[in-house]
């Protein structure tokens, strides 16, 4: 395991109380694999990743749990040492994460000379190499971020992430802002780089089809907790948690587009309210009184889920394929 996240808790103090953005989430990233971290927005995926990078917002703090990188528990000092050299980050919007007043080349050189052991000359040479690697013309190094198109900026951001040859890449919705064709191109760049450089990667996304396209494993998060995890093929073909079943219905399937898209009614719960039991209950078509008690992750082998009705997963899955199931849940939940 290159990365282990163990019962991580991240709290934000807000005017209306403490928001438990990440509430005891655990997952692991095996060496050389791509792990998809999936869930609706507001489920704590981005917070978890930012916590690993050590850049929580001012009102956020780690309230519990730990992050272990290559067997070493991360604290502030190790985070500071490791970041970008060992763990790098690909942002959702490369436009806002590149400084508008410097050229892209200058920003590449900056991180290599200030954080790596590069001289200016070797940093420049490596920039050319990196641009080549992500499929950008080296002449564009002298351009400013606003002169790039969306897809090119995303490639530049990937080049930036690879500058110091990290072993783990955290990509936060790296293709969300792009149109479908460019999405595919960027995902292909990521995949080929991951294979050539033997990278490990965490890919944060709300789009389960992106997970299906790129990832080896998947971790499904809901309301700050992990509700299901396992190999992509298992989880997507035979989801065990109703939330995953719902997510799968809500996105076009890359393999068979026969299914009608059915969004899950409602929205993730307010994390400032104290919650107990399964957080999906208010939106779950299969909820029972027993669901008011917390369910631990269980399952055989790699595929695990946190549902009280895990034993009935096959039956529920069949029912979940029927769009009417989800309509019922929404009217039920509203009343």
Partner 1 sequence: MRLVLGRFTHNALALLAVTTILFFMFRLMPGTPLAAFINENLNADQQQAMLEQFGLDKPMWQQYFIYLANLLQGEMGLSFFQRRPVMTILLEVLPNSVILTLTSLIIAYIFGVVAGAWLAWKRGTWIERAAVPAVLATRAAPEFWIGMVLLAVLSFNAGWFPSGGASSPGMAYSSNWDRIFSLDYVHHLALPVLTLALYLQGLPLLLMRSNMLEVMHEEFVTMARMKGLSEWRIVIGHAARNALLPVVTAFALGVGLSMGGNVVIETVFSWPGIGRLLVQAVSVHDYPLAQGAFLMIALVLALMNFVADLLYMVLDPRVSHGRKG
CB of 62 to partner 1, least distance (A): 16
Reduced to 3 DSSP states, what percent helix, strand and coil does the chain have, rounded to the nearest 5?
A: 40, 20, 35
CB of 105 to partner 1, least distance (A): 13
80 binds partner 1 (CB under 8 A): yes
Q: Closest CB to partner 1 among 50 and 303? A: 50
Q: Return the SS3 of 240.
A: coil
Shortest reach from residue 140's CB to partner 1, in Å = 8
251 is a site residue for partner 1 (CB under 8 A): no
Q: Give phi and psi for 194, each to the nearest 5.
A: -60, -40
Minimum gap (Å) between residue 114 Cβ and partner 1: 6
Least distance CB 154 / partner 1 (angstroms): 14
Helix (H, G, I), strand (E, B) or coil at 238: coil
Nearer Cβ to partner 1 (102/332)? 102
Could you give phi then psi for residue 268, rounded to 5 degrees? -55, 150
- Given the structure tokens 């992430």, which residue do they identify? 161
Looking at the Cβ atoms of 92 and 329, the one nearer to partner 1 is: 92
Q: By CB under 8 A, which span of 27-35, 47-55, 184-192, 253-261 interacts with partner 1? A: 47-55
Chain positions 121 to 160 lying near partner 1, rule: CB under 8 A, are: 143-144, 146-149
Closest CA to 43 of 276, 248, 247, 271: 271
55 binds partner 1 (CB under 8 A): yes
- Nearer CB in complex with partner 1: 178/291: 178
Find the binding residues for partner 1 in span 81-120 (CB under 8 A).
81, 83-85, 89, 91, 93, 96-101, 103, 110-111, 114-115
CA-to-CA distance for 151 and 163, rounded, in angstroms?
19
∠ CA 203-205-211, nearest 5°, is 70
- Report how far residue 36's alpha carbon sits from residue 300's, in angstroms, rounded to the nearest whole number: 20
Encoded one letter per residue, x for contact with partner 1 by CB under 8 A and - for no contact, window 175-194 reads: --------------------
Distances (CA, A) of 277 to 223, 225, 280, 307: 12, 11, 9, 10
Q: Walk across the sheet containing 72-73 and list its strands.
A: 17-29, 3-14, 60-69, 72-73
Number of residues that bind partner 1 (CB under 8 A): 28
Cα angle 111-113-115, degrees, rounded to a multiple of 5: 55
Q: Is 196 in the site for partner 1 (CB under 8 A)?
A: no
Count of residues making up the chain: 335
53: contact with partner 1 by CB under 8 A = yes
Alpha carbon distance 174, 108 (integer Å): 19
Radius of gyration of the chain (CA): 21
> Does residue number 13 form part of the binding site for partner 1 (CB under 8 A)?
no
Q: Does 280 bind partner 1 (CB under 8 A)?
A: no
Q: Which spans of this chain sit near partner 1 (rule: CB under 8 A)? A: 53-55, 80-81, 83-85, 89, 91, 93, 96-101, 103, 110-111, 114-115, 143-144, 146-149
């Amino acid at each position: 395991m290159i990365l282990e996240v163990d019962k991580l808790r991240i709290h934000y103090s807000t005017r209306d109380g403490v928001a438990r953005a990440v509430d005891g989430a655990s997952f692991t990233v095996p060496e050389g694999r791509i792990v998809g971290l999936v869930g609706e927005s507001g489920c704590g995926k981005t917070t978890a990743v930012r916590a690993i990078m050590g850049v929580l917002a001012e009102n956020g703090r780690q309230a519990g749990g730990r992050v272990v990188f290559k067997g070493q528990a991360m604290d502030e000092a190790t985070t500071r040492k490791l970041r970008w050299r060992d763990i790098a980050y690909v942002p959702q919007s490369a436009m806002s994460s590149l400084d508008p007043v410097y050229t892209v080349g200058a920003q590449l050189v900056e991180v290599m000379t200030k954080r790596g052991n590069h001289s200016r000359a070797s940093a420049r040479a490596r920039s050319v190499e990196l641009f080549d690697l992500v499929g950008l013309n080296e002449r564009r190094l002298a351009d400013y971020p606003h002169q790039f198109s969306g897809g090119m900026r995303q490639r530049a951001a990937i080049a930036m992430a690879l500058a110091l040859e990290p072993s783990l890449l955290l990509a936060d919705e790296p293709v969300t802002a792009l149109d479908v064709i460019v999405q595919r191109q960027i995902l292909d760049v990521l995949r080929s780089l991951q294979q050539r450089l033997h990278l490990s990667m965490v890919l944060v996304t709300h789009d389960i089809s992106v997970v299906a396209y790129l990832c080896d494993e998947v971790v499904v998060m809901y309301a700050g907790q992990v509700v299901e995890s396992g190999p992509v093929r298992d989880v997507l073909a035979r989801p065990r948690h109703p939330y995953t079943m719902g997510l799968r219905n809500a996105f076009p399937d890359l393999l068979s587009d026969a299914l009608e898209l059915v969004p899950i009614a409602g929205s993730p719960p307010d994390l400032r309210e104290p919650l107990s039991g399964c957080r999906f209950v208010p939106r779950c078509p299969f909820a029972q009184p027993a669901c008011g008690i917390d369910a631990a992750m269980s399952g055989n082998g790699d595929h695990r889920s946190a549902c009280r009705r895990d034993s009935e997963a096959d039956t529920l899955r069949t029912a979940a394929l029927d769009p009417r199931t989800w309509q019922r849940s929404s009217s039920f939940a509203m009343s």
